[in-house]
Chains A and B, each alone.
Chain A
Amino acid sequence: MSAQLLQTLLGGLTIGAIYALVALGFSIIYNASRVINFAQGEFVMLGGMATVWLAAASWPLPLAGLAAVLLAAGAGLALARFAVAPARGASVVTLIIITIGASILLRGLAALVWDKKIHPLPPFSGEAPILVGGAALLPQSLWVLGVTLLVVLLLSGFFARTLTGKALLATSHNRLAAQLAGISVQRVLLASFALSAALGALAGILVAPITFTSWDVGVMLGLKGFAAAILGGLGSGPGAVLGGLALGMIEALGAGYVSSAYKDAIAFVIILAVLVFMPGGLLGKRSTDRV
């Protein structure tokens, strides 16, 4: 394999891991409430920007990152509690507009509290690229891939073994039955938003040293994460991861070998193709409608 191809693939895998984290956030919320959270990208932004801000206030980086994740989780809780929960049972369009309104609100808040400049975050363990078969790999990429893998493993453990995780899964399968079994759907909603926000924020912190962060970095990341979730199959955890990685790599290959100007369009062309030919995505459940 040529060094350039390997480098492209590694880069694609890295950004794909980020898309996977964002897509997981979408899937978790969708599973718990059938809501598409268009503000997911803003949680990514919050993670990166809050960390930069706290680090600039001389907080040690790990502590800043943790605080940023908690902040984002809090924002997710607030979004769920004050914007989504009151609109339970509203139509798809209404819920979409609510979450989009929330994303605009969060972006406006970020621009106000911080600024509209682009901010770098120092890489976690230096900038010297590691040579792998002739390709240059950033140490930060290893962090991204490693942490994403850890998170995915922890999440599968969470869903399979903890009561909260099982409650979330149960709600995603059948809300009414879950309620009858004593699961508080309201709490599930809040937990899913908090968890997804934390995932998004983590993604934002991991990728900030590579792509930098700014007040509106969440827009494209959120949309591409959503595209990845659909590619993998909306509502499927493994699908989200697979979709994210696939999208990242296809995007990198497309940008490297086809056209770098249209890099952003690639994700959406893929999405259109998936939706037209395979709406369930790669791993999605085939849904049936009751008449």
Chain B
Amino acid sequence: MPRPGGLAALALVVVLLPLALPNNYTYEVAILVGLNAIVCVGLNLLIGYAGQISLGHAGFFGLGAYGSAILTARYGWPPLGALAASLGAVGLLAWVVGRPILRLQGHYLAMATLGLGIIVSIVLVTEDRLTGGPDGMSVPPLGAFGWTLAGEKAWYWTVGALLLAAVWLARNLIDSPRGRALRALHGSEVAAEVIGIDSARHKLGVFVLSAMFAAAAGALTAHYAGFITPSKAAFLHSIELVTMVVFGGMASTFGAVVGAAVLTTLPQFLTVLKDYEMMVFGAVMILTMVFMPRGLVPTLEQALAAQR
């Protein structure tokens, strides 16, 4: 359902949040939340609306990050140009691999995307001349025309603006004929094809778009942190991303943002538990899927609607 107020509410949150952030560390967490949210908004289009699965999206994230990192650090490209080139390359890769694998369904698609993600992760670790191997590589900061983007506050506003742009883009797509086509093919691919929707083209389109969102977030993360390691392309990261989307609520763009927010900040609280962190994270994943299979935001919406 189109809710114009939603984007305005999110904009309000982004603008007012700094009032609640006491120090640089909390800004850093907020920036990470924003970056993860950008990936999740794109991934949600793929998983929630188009009904596909990707267990390898961290691969696109990593490729975007390393692409921009390598071009700027090793070849001296200007950062914005490197970012654009990296995005384009990942989009092209997604287009090329998406065509054959999106014919698959369910578990087979999950496995194909998983395999893809792992292959990317292995390549990034092994080609250490270019990527610095498992220890990673340092990344020059983002900037243009002599001005560098540095400092938590500047990054916060940049990421916040980009997140709003991403959400706006996603919502526009969802409320367009293309979006309705996606939802139709989620409901039943056969039925959608019967009424003339080219499901392969639509699936590919949203796959490429979500890959580019991930790549953009990856490149930004690399430039923000000044460093990138292959763990960002690892299977575990792909799982975290999917969990954020599913936890927040599939087929809900704001759910994706909420999911990213909760599951990015959760480990910050869990570090208190130190050795129990993994166990608790795993338990949280299981419990939320068992008791809130539709995700947090739709479940809350349903609860609120039931009370009226």
Contacts and interface: CB of A to CB of B under 8 A. Distances in A.
B278 A227 contact: no
A23 to B, nearest CB: 13
A283 to B, nearest CB: 16
Nearest to A290: B190
Binding site of A, secondary structure by majority: helix, strand, loop or mixed?
Answer: helix
Interface in A230-276: 230, 234, 261-262, 264-265, 268-269, 271-272, 275-276
Interface residues of B, number: 42
A108 interface: yes
Contact of B290 (A83, A96, A108, A289): A83
B55 interface: yes
Interface in B39-56: 47, 53, 55
B200 interface: no
A130 interface: no
Contacts of A272: 101, 112, 115-116, 119
A226 B107 CA distance: 11
A100 interface: yes
A111 B104 contact: no
B289 A98 contact: yes
Interface in B104-119: 104, 106-108, 110-112, 114-116, 118-119
Q: How large is the interface on A (under 10, 10 to 19, 20 to 34, 35 or more residues)?
A: 35 or more
B242 A261 contact: no
Given A91-B293, A101-B289, A265-B122, A109 B112 contact: no
Interface in B266-282: 275-282
Interface core residue of B55, B111, B123 (most chain A CB under 10 Å): B111
A97 B118 contact: no
A105 B107 contact: no
A279 B286 contact: no
B41 to A, nearest CB: 17
Contacts of A219: 235
Contacts of B104: 275, 279
A96 B55 contact: yes
Given A87-B290, A271-B115, A275-B101, A97 B246 contact: yes
A80 to B, nearest CB: 12
Nearest to B277: A108
Interface core residue of B108, B123, B280, B283 (most chain A CB under 10 Å): B108
Interface string B56-87: 00000000000000000000000000000000
B126 interface: yes
Given A87-B290, A271-B115, A276-B100, A103 B282 contact: yes
B239 interface: yes
A97 B279 contact: no
Contact of B243 (A91, A97, A279): A97
Given A223-B118, A230-B108, A111 B275 contact: yes
A101 B283 contact: yes
Interface in A62-117: 83, 86-87, 90-98, 100-109, 111-112
A230 B104 CA distance: 13
A92 B51 CA distance: 10
Contacts of B115: 227, 268-269, 271-272, 275
A108 B190 CA distance: 42
A291 interface: yes
Given A83-B290, A93-B246, A271-B115, A108 B281 contact: yes
Interface core residue of B106, B118, B280 (most chain A CB under 10 Å): B118
A219 to B, nearest CB: 7
Given A104-B285, A272-B116, 4 more contacts: A83-B290, A112-B279, A264-B118, A268-B122
Interface of A: 36, 83, 86-87, 90-98, 100-109, 111-112, 219, 223, 226-227, 230, 234, 261-262, 264-265, 268-269, 271-272, 275-276, 279, 289, 291
16 contacts: A91-B293, A92-B110, A93-B47, A93-B53, A93-B250, A96-B110, A97-B242, A97-B243, A100-B239, A100-B243, A105-B282, A105-B283, A105-B286, A106-B282, A265-B118, A265-B123
